[in-house]
Amino acid sequence: MQIKKILLIALLSVSCAAVKAQTFWDQSQLSQVKKNASLPVYAASLKNLMERADAMLSEPDMSVMIKKRVSVSGNKHDYYSQARYTWPNPDTPDGLPYVTRDGESNPEIYELDRYRLSDMCDRVRYFTLAWYFSGQKKYADAAVRQLRVWFLDPETLMNPNFNYAQVRRGHDGDKGSHAGLIDAYTFVEMLPAMYMLRDGKMLPKSDYKALKKWFAEFVQWYLTSEMGNGERNAANNHSIAYDAQVICFARFAGDKKTANAVINEFPTRRLFPQIEPDGSQPQELRRTLSYWYSTYNIEHMVDIMYMAKGMKTRIYDAVSPDGRCITKAMDFLIPYVGKEVSAWPHQQIGRWEDSQQSVCDNLYRIYMFDRTKTNYRDIALANSARKAGDVWFLLYLSPEDAKNMTLK
């Protein structure tokens, strides 16, 4: 679809604070987007960003107090979610204990906190980006207000634990599962916005101090709880997601020692055991959504790769003696990009298009890290299904590629 160039002179005439956000929002990328905002791909994305942020301004803030059911703790401030692939038992009158149907999501999950957590993080991200690109304080104020509601306000805050994340109803006294820690990955995607608000002096020092304290308590729960220990010792994508979260949360909380320790152990503790010499990931290939989980695991690896770079460490270059590394895992998936699901020799009961897009995103982000991987860029851009207006373009697409892109 041909998009008219939208000149955002008004947006760009407003001075914003320099971006120093860590993790995945790159300062030079966002600065370049500002300078090239009239390019059709960026203009469409900025228009969509501002429209979504404006719509969110009139919507209520998210909190853990909205959910329809409460965990067995009886405390509504405790985060509570249900294991995605668990369903009522058809062989019992009350449906308990729930049974697993791998790869099939139970819509009951929408009644609890999981998707409100995601919505909360989206609100903070969109408001913060809208403030950065427009300079309008009302968006930063909305982001800060949402942070206060979720983390700081005594009436609405979430307790800094995940004791009741991904509960399997009827199992383990309805306590959470260590796999439920994956729900908190949304915080990893939100934290760059909090750095941006802080560096732009939009987040009051008292709020920033209180948020650091919250995440310090949360990461200690990760490091010391039984659930945290279970996730740390997982053999699949959950352990890599766990590492990404600990790195991110510890760094924000000021615990660089913990963050660095996890990064330094990452190649031998996670990468090499989970990736075979041919690039396959056996733990992910066992799943009913094997292509999806293979690229999902790589997404976490790429996130850690970028976080490590921000801490002056390069895990991207880590290669085992028999060739196990991030790019080898990526190369294993490339032959199936642009193909039908029938070409994939493993089980994939759905989400094929989502999986293809995730592979393209991972390829492009690796290219942006290592500009010699031009084949990764070419495959990604040739097969990406992202449409005009996608905010992803603002965060990751280089101006060079934006200039040559024909929007869909």
Task: Assess contact for 149 and 156: CB atoms under 8 A.
Answer: yes
Helix (H, G, I), strand (E, B) or coil at 310: helix
pLDDT of the residue at 268 = 98
For residue 363, which of 396, 389, 388 has the smallest C-alpha distance?
Answer: 396
Q: Which two tokens stand for residue 206?
A: 């008292």
Task: Assess contact for 45 and 394: CB atoms under 8 A.
Answer: yes
Is 329 domain-assigned? yes
For residue 223, which of 185, 255, 266 has the smallest C-alpha distance?
Answer: 255
Instruction: State the residue for tokens 């999950």.
Output: 109
What parts of the chain have a pLDDT lower than 70?
A: 1-23
Is 311 domain-assigned? yes
Kindly report, residue by residue over 331-348, the tens digit of the pLDDT.
Answer: 999 999 999 999 999 999
Q: Residue 305: left if φ>0, alpha if ψ -120 to 50, beta else—which one?
A: alpha
Kindly report, residue by residue over 172-205, the tens digit of the pLDDT.
Answer: 999 999 999 999 999 999 999 999 999 999 999 9
Provide the number of structural domains found in the chain. 1
Helix residue spans in 290-373 (DSSP H): 290-310, 326-333, 352-369
Is 107 domain-assigned? no
Instruction: State the residue for tokens 């803030």.
Output: 61
Distance CA(263)–CA(189), nearest Å, equals 18
Sign of CA dihedral 343, 359, 357, 373: negative
Q: Name the strand (E) or helix (H) holding 167.
A: strand 164-167
Q: Residue 159: left if φ>0, alpha if ψ -120 to 50, beta else—which one?
A: beta
Domain, as residue range, for 231: 9-70+116-161+192-403
CB proximity list for 185: less than 8 A, separation 6 or greater: 241, 244, 245, 300
Distance CA(24)–CA(150), nearest Å, equals 22
Distance CA(236)–CA(28), nearest Å, equals 34
Is 172 domain-assigned? no
What angle (nearest 5°) sits at the alpha carbon of residue 259, between those of residues 258 and 260? 95
Question: How far from 32 is each of 17, 194, 341, 395, CA to CA, in Å?
Answer: 14, 21, 37, 10
Residue 75 has phi, psi (to 5 degrees) of: -105, 110
Question: How far from 231 is each of 131, 226, 269, CA to CA, in Å?
Answer: 36, 9, 13
Is 171 domain-assigned? no
Is 241 domain-assigned? yes
What angle (nearest 5°) sits at the alpha carbon of residue 176, between those of residues 173 and 182? 165
Sign of CA dihedral 13, 16, 20, 23: negative
Number of H helices, E strands in the chain: 18, 4
- What is the identity of the amino acid at 300? H
Q: Specify the CATH number for the domain of residue 371.
A: 1.50.10.100
Q: Say whether the peptide bond before residue 204 is cis (omega within 30 degrees of 0).
A: no
Is 98 domain-assigned? no
pLDDT of the residue at 406 = 80
For residue 77, which of 162, 148, 145 has the smallest C-alpha distance?
Answer: 162
Burial class (CB in 10 A: 0-12, 13-18, 19+), 326: buried
Kindly report, residue by residue over 242-294, the tens digit of the pLDDT.
Answer: 999 999 999 999 999 999 999 999 999 999 999 999 999 999 999 999 999 99
The CA-based diameter of the chain, rounded to the nearest angstrom, is: 65
The predicted model scores a pTM of: 0.91
